[in-house]
Amino acid sequence: MLLLSASLFSLSAHAVEETSFSPGSGVQRNVNHLKALQDWCKQVTPRLPKVSLNECRTSRLQVSSGKSFKGLPLMTRDFSSDPKLKRARKVLLIGGIHGDEKTATAVVFKWLETLAKNPTQEFQWKVAPLVNPDGLLAPKATRVNARGVDLNRNFPTPDWDKEALKYWEQKTKSDPRRYPGKTPVSEPESKWVFETITTFKPDVIISVHAPFGVLDLDGPAQPPTRFGRLHFNRVGVYAGSLGNYSGMHQETPVLTIELPHALNMPSPAETARIWSDMQIWIRNNVSVRKK
């Protein structure tokens, strides 16, 4: 009887072990996510200012449904709002849509740390620190993705077919850094952002760039006066831009934060001040949209 019980226990333990680490199991998925994050961090952090490998590894970023053209995952992290709130504002925070704007990704990592320190959030967040990993990881970091497309000119604005390529040819003199692509949302990265906006339904989108050192706003909200040392100054509306698509035509405000330098980080105090001022602006100026 004792031998039979021991045998049954052994079989049961073996079955649990097999089930726990079967390809479709939750445990195995967690292991796969952790490995993917570690591999991703090893590639990304050497290219980023002031972001350590350990900081990236402990960020708890998850593999999203999106991938770059070269197959790198677009990593995200979600933060739930305080459950006591009936309907919290939803914020989509993205960085690194241009791969050579390295601080635009690094600053989002610092804000990820800040979010992780708070057990409850006033807003519901979806954070994607690096939308264009192929651009960042090119031998020399590039604004465009691996197919040479400016992702921030690839969104489906109503005037895209008429204006995007014409503007590129006539106004930029076919500048390869600003090529909008052959068709809107032709790129896996811009398509993922487009689909995320559709499914997540943010009340506001915060897009971090560099190096113009200003704030810009597209869409139905009162613009901020300043975040930290950054003052509001409109930089223009372009066919295929995220601000034009989401802010002007989908009526979801897009707040663009242009950091002063693409390679040199703002001080920790300035990074914290921009974050704090942004929170206040969202609280006072962004409405919960009717879905």
Q: How far apart are CA 191 and CA 195, in angstroms?
A: 6
Strands 73-79 and 124-128 turn out to be antiparallel
pLDDT digits (tens, 9 = 90+) for 108-130: 999 999 999 987 899 999 999 99
Q: How far apart are CA 287 and CA 291, in angstroms?
A: 12
pLDDT digits (tens, 9 = 90+) for 139-195: 999 999 999 999 999 999 999 999 999 999 999 999 999 999 999 999 999 999 999
pTM: 0.89
The set of residues, in sequence order, having a beta carbon less than 8 Å from that of 75 and lying 6+ positions away, is: 37, 40, 61, 62, 63, 64, 128, 129, 130
CATH number (3.30.9.10, 3.20.20.100, 3.40.50.2300, 3.40.630.10) of 21-285 reads 3.40.630.10
Angle at 154 between CA 152 and CA 159, to 5 degrees: 110
Q: What are phi and psi of 138, to 5 degrees?
A: -60, 155
pLDDT value, residue 18:
35
Q: What are phi and psi of 72, to 5 degrees?
A: -75, 140
Q: How far apart are CA 165 and CA 180, in angstroms?
A: 7
pLDDT digits (tens, 9 = 90+) for 223-269: 999 999 999 999 889 999 999 999 999 999 999 999 999 999 999 99
pLDDT value, residue 3:
38
pLDDT value, residue 26:
65
pLDDT digits (tens, 9 = 90+) for 33-60: 889 999 999 999 999 999 999 999 999 9
pLDDT digits (tens, 9 = 90+) for 204-222: 999 999 999 999 999 999 9
- Report CA-CA distances (Å) from 287 to 11, 56, 130: 57, 32, 27
pLDDT value, residue 291:
59
Q: Where are the domains positioned within the chain?
A: 21-285
Residue 290 CB neighbour total at 10 angstroms: 4
11: pLDDT strictly greater than 80: no
